[in-house]
Structure 1
Amino acid sequence: MNQKRYRWEELMTLLEPFHTQAAATARNLCRTTGDGDDLYQEAVLRACEKLHTLRDTSRFRSWFFAVLLSVHRSRSRRSVWRRWIPIDDTNAADVPDSGEGIDREAASARRMSYALSKLSAEQREAVVLFEIEGFSMEEVASIQESTVAAVKSRVLRGREKLRTIYEKSGWDERQVKSARQPVAPKEPVTEKVDRMFAIDPTTSMGKGAHHG
């Protein structure tokens, strides 16, 4: 077996336990599902190329997410010109909300994706990893190769900007519910948004502050 084939199979073995979460994170970092899938595929290829630099496989999960964010930032810089070109996607504000089942969930997901796209790359990463994917502040800091204080600042500013976007758009996603209840493994997007906006941005955001 050649070395490249061996690295690929080793990568797939290490990635298998959380590849679904990683793919979902990539989609949440991007405006469209297609861009998210492209980001994830590029991150997998980059990880395969760099796998030989990983000395401790027990750290693979945080290492892979760091690779994912690195690729995300590179793609963001390469596509900066797209801000002047209308994206081929329905404006989130135009998505109807039937208030029922899948339609409501799809509309909420579209609105959240639209709002997240308005954040800076680092703010979007911090909010997605901490608020949606459930990483602790310390884990996000490690993945972003930053400090806990910097991550807290990004999450705080990201929350404020998202809240402003939702309020100006007239989207009513906030419900009166506990912000510190455990997150269900397959929590609907609407629940994630509700939880995000139920949190007072001035409260402590320490490790596991709202994940149980």
Structure 2
Amino acid sequence: MDETTLNGRSIHGKAQDMIARQFADDLVALLPKMRRFARGLARDAADGDDLCQATIERALRSAAQWQEGTRLDAWVYRIMRNIWIDENRARARRGPVLPPDDAAFDIADASAQGIEANVELGNVSRAVAKLPDDQREAVLLVLVEGFAYKEAAEIIGCPQGTLTSRLVRGREALMRYLGEKP
């Protein structure tokens, strides 16, 4: 009989399939948030989608490493961040690549009422893209994705005080970019 382990427990046949299916369903439910975060990190829609796909592939391959009872989203974001760092290192070895001028977050509402909001969202997403990587990560995790400071610090792998400093500097820079006084 096919036997494997998940979180230290032996699993057989149908039970294994049910757990794998539930894990995959939970990943699918996270896709919109993952995609938004990936596009914010990558500063480009296509690169963000590639990052999201690579993250899903690695998460599925590493499903046995996820600890039941912990936050799946935090675990997946940590995987995504690690892939992004690895890709940036590889890209740095290959040479600089400039992001496109039109890099922005997805804008779902194209109605007449939403046009002004879409323009402002585009301005904000361009401002976020200008932030240094460490500040952009903090802003995306806390302000966009809604993680608590402690959780965001764990995802990034830094002390909570460091995350707080990055977030403060990121907010101040965003306000400058958007023409508001800090």
TM-score range, shorter chain: 0.7 to 0.9
Q: Distance between the aligned counterparts of 1:40 and 1:24, measured in 2?
A: 9
Deviation string 1:118-165 (CA, Å, 9 cap, x unpaired) is 222221111011111211111111211222111101101111222222
Q: Distance between the aligned counterparts of 2:145 and 2:113, measured in 1?
A: 22
Q: Distance between the aligned counterparts of 2:97 and 2:63, measured in 1?
A: 36
Is 1:147 the counterpart of 2:163? The answer is no
Q: Given the alignment, which residue of 57, 60, 75 partners 1:63?
A: 75
Moved more, 78-87 or 116-125: 78-87
Is 1:54 the counterpart of 2:66? The answer is yes
Aligned length: 162
Q: Distance between the aligned counterparts of 1:102 and 1:76, measured in 2?
A: 34
Q: Given the alignment, which residue of 119, 122, 137 partners 2:149?
A: 137
Amino acid at match of 2:25: T
- Normalising by structure 1, report the TM-score: 0.63
Greater Rg by CA: 2
Amino acid at match of 1:64: V
The two structures, once aligned, show a CA RMSD in angstroms of 3.0
Kept after mapping to 1: 8 A contact 2:55/2:79: yes
Match of residue 170 from structure 1: none
Amino acid at match of 1:157: R
Deviation string 1:45-102 (CA, Å, 9 cap, x unpaired) is 121222222232533221111111112222233334798554343388xxxxxxx633
Kept after mapping to 2: 8 A contact 1:76/1:121: no
Moved more, 27-36 or 151-160: 27-36
Kept after mapping to 1: 8 A contact 2:55/2:80: yes
Name the SS of the counterpart of 2:178 in structure 1: helix
Runs ≥4 residues deviating over 4 A: 5-8, 81-86
Alignment of 1:1-212 (within 5 A): 9-80=21-92, 84-90=96-102, 101-167=113-179
Deviation string 1:25-59 (CA, Å, 9 cap, x unpaired) is 22222322222211111111121222222232533
Kept after mapping to 1: 8 A contact 2:153/2:160: yes
Kept after mapping to 2: 8 A contact 1:65/1:143: yes
Unaligned runs of 5+ in 1: 93-99, 168-173, 175-196, 201-212
Quick one: percent identity of the two aligned structures? 26
Deviation of residue 15 (structure 1)?
A: 1.4
Kept after mapping to 1: 8 A contact 2:43/2:103: no
